[in-house]
Amino acid sequence: MKNTYDFVFVGSGINSLCCAALLAKAGHSVCVLERNDYLGGCIKTAEITEEGFRHDVLSGWHPLFVTSPSYRALGADLARHGLVYLNTEKPTAVATPAGESLVLSTSREQNIAVLNALGDGDGDRYARTMTEMERDADLTFSLLSNEILSLATLRLLWREWRARGSAGLSLYAGEAMASSRDWLDQYFRSDLAKSLLAPWILHTGLGPEANFSGAMSRVITFSLESAGMPVVKGGSENLVRAFRGLIEEYGGELHVNSDVKRIVVEHRRAQGVECLHGEPGNAQSRQSCKIEARNAVICNVTPQQLYLSLLEPDWVPEAVREQAKNFRFGNACMQIHLALDRLPQWRDPQLDDVAMVHLSGGLDAVSLAVSQAGCGLLPAEPTIVVAQPTVLDPSRAPAGKAILWIQLQELPSIIRGDAAGQIEAPGDGQWTQQIAERYADRIVARISEHVPGLAGSIRRRVVLSPKDLESINGNLVGGDPYSGHCGMQQFFLWRPLKALKNHQTPVRNLYHIGASTHPGPGLAGNSGYMVARGLLS
């Protein structure tokens, strides 16, 4: 490791990798420091069940990345370094407790026909939504890939005002503020159609009743139809490997087991970082080092880490410190990974080759589970995300065998009780492995109602509780997979903090990126792209 670079990164998540690759390709020296023993943040592939079964331990699906400006800029380079995406025409589906199921495909014509058969005009209204999304795509996606307080956004809004007028822009903003329930109830008559689309709002860190959740529901639906559900061949770590190859091709460096302890500031300007480098737990291998940054330090961390730990109090205004203390995290998440003796066979065979199936009782069930989690309860019937990576990529498991990637996004960080009355809350409210396993039993039993013989085909199960997720990645505070509540009070202009502008900080040449910053979570790399573009301009 050298002593000086143009840019030094704290954390190696997707936003750091995108930003570092863009800067390195432009001729700058970059250094990415990661405290874990692997690169990638929430991108991690490992044989956590049995040898030969390759699980994406945290994130695993990339529709947002393949449609991002970072991928447009770097996709060809990443392909040169071995990145291969596999995709499907059946990205998602729902299976209900009543035994009904419905598939969303990448064919608009097929979706229109299927939805019209379910509810009078549902398909036509779905088509209207997609047409409106195409009409508004430049405005919607520009707001999600540009700094909000910037000349580019002002020019965008001016152009849209000239085209739409004040009334048109007001209509756009008003519709964007609607909830997912508002949108689903207005556009769809069929409960099954609502059940298909309602669970997806959970993947944005929101619930169906939240302001702005309607707009995000439409964005997700549009992305699924247009981009499918791509996965990286061989496991998502191959995306990280491609980024590493690209960054190193242009002279950049990436280092694991490098725990940044302090950002060095002089005259209110970030000069570099101090870190401990070497294997954790091996005192003899741990070395303290100072790394200088000629141009900037870029941190992919939570606001608490940045403003209450990495920066000394003298460099942080009191308003920023107070807002960082009050930065709110959302509901927790749990992962269940299964190694199976065979590919799952669903009661409804049309689900056998769907990438991601939600088990859901519908819109009301999603709202209820979100509310129960918000009250500290283990939901009685949570939305279950059942993803089937081996349907797209058989190389993830030995021949004839399979894996399942199961996610629960409506869980409390602190347990106060069980809505089903079956699991006793711990006295301190903390997740234990015993509670996680008991809750996983409930989940697998529900999946087995739709996949006969599932229990008998499980070779091994690994359950990762919210506590486990935070131990893997310190940005997932309380097991929140989105590194911060995504409600409007903590989004757009106000993400991460109301006292700050865009990705800037109170310290010159210090930038803040990652899921805790605008435009929030998701494997798109947009905050890293924004900062790189700003620095290069």
Q: Read out DSSP for 123-182?
A: HHHHHHHHHHHHHHHHHHHHHTTS-SSSHHHHHHHHHHHHHHHHHHHHHHHHHHTS-HHH
Give the integer Cα–Cα distance in Å for 535 and 537: 5
- Tell me the one-letter amino acid at 503: H
| Average of per-residue pLDDT across 33-42 | 97
| Average of per-residue pLDDT across 428-434 | 97
Query: Could you tell me if 464 and 346 lie in one domain?
Result: yes
- Which DSSP category does 424 fall into? P
| Average of per-residue pLDDT across 258-283 | 91
Which residue, 171, 195, 226, sits at the end of a domain? 226
- What's the confidence (pLDDT) of residue 264? 97
| Average of per-residue pLDDT across 251-264 | 97
Give the integer Cα–Cα distance in Å for 359 and 376: 22
pLDDT at position 285 over 80:
no
* Ramachandran angles phi, psi of 474, nearest 5°: -65, -15
Task: With CA atoms as reference, report the closest residue to 516 among 499, 503, 531.
Answer: 503
Query: Could you tell me if 158 and 186 lie in one domain?
Result: yes
- What's the confidence (pLDDT) of residue 139? 92
Give the integer Cα–Cα distance in Å for 13 and 200: 23
CATH code (residue 56): 3.50.50.60
- What's the confidence (pLDDT) of residue 283? 67
| Average of per-residue pLDDT across 406-426 | 97
| Average of per-residue pLDDT across 361-386 | 98
Which residue, 226, 244, 273, sits at the end of a domain? 226
Query: Could you tell me if 459 and 340 lie in one domain?
Result: yes
- What's the confidence (pLDDT) of residue 205? 94
Which residue, 169, 193, 226, sits at the end of a domain? 226
Give the integer Cα–Cα distance in Å for 502 and 60: 28
Please say whether the dihedral angle defined by the alpha carbons of residues 479, 484, 485 and 486, taken in this order, is positive or negative: negative
- What's the confidence (pLDDT) of residue 16? 98
Q: How confident is the model at residue 280 (pLDDT cuts 50, 70, 90)?
A: confident
- What's the confidence (pLDDT) of residue 169? 92
pLDDT at position 77 over 80:
yes
Q: Give the angle subtended at the CA of 17 by the CAs of 262 and 1, to the nearest 5°.
A: 55
Q: How confident is the model at residue 40 (pLDDT cuts 50, 70, 90)?
A: very high
pLDDT at position 221 over 80:
yes
- What's the confidence (pLDDT) of residue 278? 82
Question: Is there a domain that residue 427 lies in?
Answer: yes
Q: How confident is the model at residue 198 (pLDDT cuts 50, 70, 90)?
A: very high
- What's the confidence (pLDDT) of residue 279? 78
Give the integer Cα–Cα distance in Å for 419 and 471: 26
Query: Given the DSSP bridges, would you call strands 402-411 and 384-387 parallel, antiparallel or unpaired?
Result: antiparallel
Give the integer Cα–Cα distance in Å for 205 and 522: 10
Query: Could you tell me if 257 and 220 lie in one domain?
Result: no
Question: Is there a domain that residue 77 lies in?
Answer: no
- What's the confidence (pLDDT) of residue 384? 98
pLDDT at position 154 over 90:
yes
Query: Could you tell me if 244 and 293 lie in one domain?
Result: yes
Least confident stretch, 230-234, 299-303, 306-310, 485-489: 485-489
Q: Give the angle subtended at the CA of 518 by the CAs of 516 and 520, to the nearest 5°.
A: 55
Question: Is there a domain that residue 69 lies in?
Answer: no
Domain count, the chain: 3
More confident residue, 358 or 175: 358
Give the integer Cα–Cα distance in Å for 374 and 372: 5
**320-354 pLDDT tens trace:** 999 999 999 999 999 999 999 999 999 999 999 99
pLDDT, the chain, mean: 96
Domain range holding 441?
Answer: 331-472
Looking at the DSSP assignment, which residues form a beta bridge with residue 508?
A: 269
Query: Could you tell me if 133 and 260 lie in one domain?
Result: no
Query: Could you tell me if 336 and 455 lie in one domain?
Result: yes
Query: Could you tell me if 263 and 300 lie in one domain?
Result: yes
pLDDT at position 210 over 80:
yes
Question: Is there a domain that residue 412 lies in?
Answer: yes
